[in-house]
């Protein structure tokens, strides 16, 4: 049966927030930040204000905050943001969070020098006009002399799958991820046990090929200036095939 594509909060993480940071704790957010800053520099942008759209638990926001940038994250999931706020309290890092939808970014025009949305968050938007709306908001919240960096879902996840590395075994924690393809819709099922308590959640993403994505960037008024492969700058195998799109507003 084809997955449902309706529901205004369809992409927001709920129960997965309980274990998200256990799954992603080894992810190289410092290198994600370096890549984005390098791309900004090549676009002649020296950012001070950085916005991470669909920030999750704010791992990237915290990386920028720790380097002294004015960093803001927003996400549609209050469960993910609760974790971000708890980490802010624990680390005393200075950053802002807001509840908000990619399709209606909750920030003022021109409030970012560098606006980001990484890790295929845009692909939870299942219709092209929703992605164009989200990209248009990223353009709107970016200053005229700023830059936008986004990472859509990579083709490898559709064509080769991504089971390697999707089975986590750690102290008191295990998680297994599986997925199904329905045309260009990818449905991921996550099942985990943490300290004996079981949880599960499913998500649906739509894959947009490069041609479609470039057309959506153009429709949002963004001018693509670079496509930046993450690998081999990030040597870990899961970085293969992942691509940052760098655009001017």
Q: Does 102 bind ligand SAM (CB under 6 A)?
A: yes
User: What is the nearest approach in angstroms of ligand SAM to the Cβ of residue 242?
Assistant: 11
Between 118 and 220, name the residue whose CB sits nearer to ligand SAM.
118
124 binds ligand SAM (CB under 6 A): yes
Region binding ligand SAM by CB under 6 A among candidate stretches 85-93, 96-104, 192-200, 233-241: 96-104
> 116 CB contacts (<8 Å, ≥6 apart)?
36, 50, 51, 52, 53, 60, 148, 149, 150
Q: Does residue 105 bind ligand SAM (CB under 6 A)?
A: no
CA distance 151 to 141: 18
Question: Does residue 23 contact residue 168 with C-beta atoms inside 8 Å?
Answer: yes
Using the rule CB under 6 A, give the single segment among 6-14, 41-49, 85-93, 182-190 that binds ligand SAM: 6-14
Please, what is the minimum distance in Å from the beta carbon of residue 117 to ligand SAM?
A: 7
Determine the Cα–Cα distance for residues 141 and 115; give it in Å rounded to an integer. Answer: 8
Asked if 47 is part of the footprint of ligand SAM (rule: CB under 6 A), the reply reads: no
Q: Are 160 and 242 in contact (CB under 8 A)?
A: no
Residue position matching structure tokens 């943490």: 194
Q: Does 13 bind ligand SAM (CB under 6 A)?
A: yes
Residue 5 DSSP label:
-
Q: Applying CB under 6 A, does 95 fall inside the site for ligand SAM? A: no
Compute the least distance from the CB of residue 236 to ligand SAM, in Å: 14
At a CB cut-off of 8 Å and minimum separation 6, what does 86 contact? none
Answer yes or no whether residue 51 interacts with ligand SAM by CB under 6 A: no
**Which stretch in 62-70, 95-103, 172-180, 221-229 sits in contact with ligand SAM by CB under 6 A?**
95-103
Distance between CA 30 and CA 19 in Å, rounded?
Answer: 20
The CB-of-109 to ligand SAM minimum distance in angstroms stands at 19
Label the pairing between strands 142-150 and 243-248.
antiparallel
CA angle 125, 177, 122 (to 5 degrees): 15
- Answer yes or no whether residue 55 interacts with ligand SAM by CB under 6 A: yes
**Beta bridge partners of residue 188, listed in sequence order:** 179, 203
Shortest Cβ distance from residue 196 to ligand SAM (Å)?
A: 25
Footprint of ligand SAM on this chain (CB under 6 A)?
A: 11-13, 24, 54-56, 59-60, 75-77, 80, 101-103, 118-119, 121, 124
């Amino acid at each position: 049966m084809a997955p449902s594509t309706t529901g205004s909060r369809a992409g927001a993480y709920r129960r997965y927030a309980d274990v998200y940071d256990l799954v992603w704790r080894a992810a190289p957010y410092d290198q994600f930040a370096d890549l984005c800053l390098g791309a900004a520099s090549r676009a002649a942008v020296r950012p001070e204000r950085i916005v991470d759209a669909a920030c999750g638990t704010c791992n990237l926001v915290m990386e920028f905050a720790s380097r002294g940038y004015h960093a803001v994250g927003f996400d549609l999931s209050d469960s993910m943001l609760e974790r971000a706020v708890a980490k802010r309290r624990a680390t005393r890092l200075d950053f802002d969070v807001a509840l908000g939808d990619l399709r209606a970014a909750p920030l003022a025009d021109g409030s970012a020098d560098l606006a980001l949305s990484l890790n295929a968050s845009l692909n939870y938007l299942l219709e092209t006009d929703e992605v164009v709306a989200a990209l248009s908001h990223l353009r709107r919240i970016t200053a005229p002399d700023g830059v936008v960096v986004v990472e859509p879902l990579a083709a490898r996840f559709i064509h080769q799958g991504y089971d390697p590395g999707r089975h986590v075994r750690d102290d008191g924690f295990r998680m297994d991820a599986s997925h199904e393809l329905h045309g260009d819709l990818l449905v991921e099922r996550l099942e985990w046990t943490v300290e004996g308590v079981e949880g599960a959640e499913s998500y649906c993403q739509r894959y947009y090929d490069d041609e479609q994505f470039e057309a959506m960037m153009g429709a949002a008024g963004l001018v693509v200036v670079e496509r930046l492969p993450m690998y081999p700058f990030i040597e870990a195998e899961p970085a293969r095939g992942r691509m940052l799109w760098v655009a001017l507003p």
